[in-house]
Amino acid sequence: MTTSSDTSLEVENLTVHYDSTPALWDISLSIPTGKLVGIVGPNGAGKSTLNKAGLQLIPSSSGRISFFNQPLEQVRKRIAYVPQKESVDWDFPITVEQLVLMGRYGQLKLAQRPRACDFEAVEAVLVQVGLLSLKDRQISQLSGGQQQRAFLARALLQEADLYFMDEPFVGIDQTTEKILIEILMKMKEAKKTVFIVHHDLGTVRSTFDWAIMLNMHLIKAGPLEEVFTKENLKKAYGQQYNLLDEALKLSSEMQRGR
* Banded model confidence at residue 63, pLDDT cuts 50, 70, 90: very high
SS in 3 state form for the chain? CCCCCCEEEEEEEEEEEECCEEEEEEEEEEEECCCEEEEECCCCCCHHHHHHHHCCCCCCCEEEEEECCECHHHHHHHEEEECCHHHCCCCCCCEHHHHHHHHHHHHCCCCCCCCHHHHHHHHHHHHHCCCHHHCCCEHHHCCHHHHHHHHHHHHHHCCCCEEEEECCCCCCCHHHHHHHHHHHHHHHHCCCEEEEECCCHHHHHHHCCEEEEEECEEEEEEEHHHHCCHHHHHHHHHHHHHHHHHHHHHHHHHHHCC
Give the mean pLDDT of 108-127: 85
Residue 229 inside a domain? The answer is yes
Residue 52 inside a domain? The answer is yes
pTM above 0.75, yes or no: yes
Residue 1 inside a domain? The answer is no
112 or 115: which carries more pLDDT confidence?
A: 115
- Answer yes or no: are the C-beta atoms of 176 and 128 closer than 8 Å: no
Give the mean pLDDT of 187-201: 93
Residue 2 inside a domain? The answer is no
Residue 230 inside a domain? The answer is yes
pLDDT tens readout for residues 131-144 = 999 999 999 999 98
Of the spans 74-88, 123-137, 229-243, which averages the highest pLDDT? 123-137
Residue 223 inside a domain? The answer is yes
Give the mean pLDDT of 38-64: 94
Kindly give, in sequence order, each residue whose CB lies less than 8 Å from that of residue 100, ignoring residues fewer than 6 positions away. 122, 125, 126, 135, 150, 153, 154, 157
Residue 174 inside a domain? The answer is yes
Domain span at 148 = 7-256
Q: Answer yes or no: is pLDDT of 10 > 60.
A: yes
Q: Answer yes or no: is pLDDT of 30 > 70.
A: yes
- Answer yes or no: are the C-beta atoms of 154 and 105 closer than 8 Å: no
How remote is the C-alpha of 258 from its chain's centroid?
28
Residue 215 inside a domain? The answer is yes
CATH of the domain at 232: 3.40.50.300
Kindly give, in sequence order, each residue whose CB lies less than 8 Å from that of residue 174, ignoring residues fewer than 6 positions away. none
Beta-bridged to residue 193, according to DSSP, are 162
Total domains, the chain = 1
Q: Is 254 exposed, middle or buried (0-12, 13-18, 19+ CB in 10 A)?
A: exposed
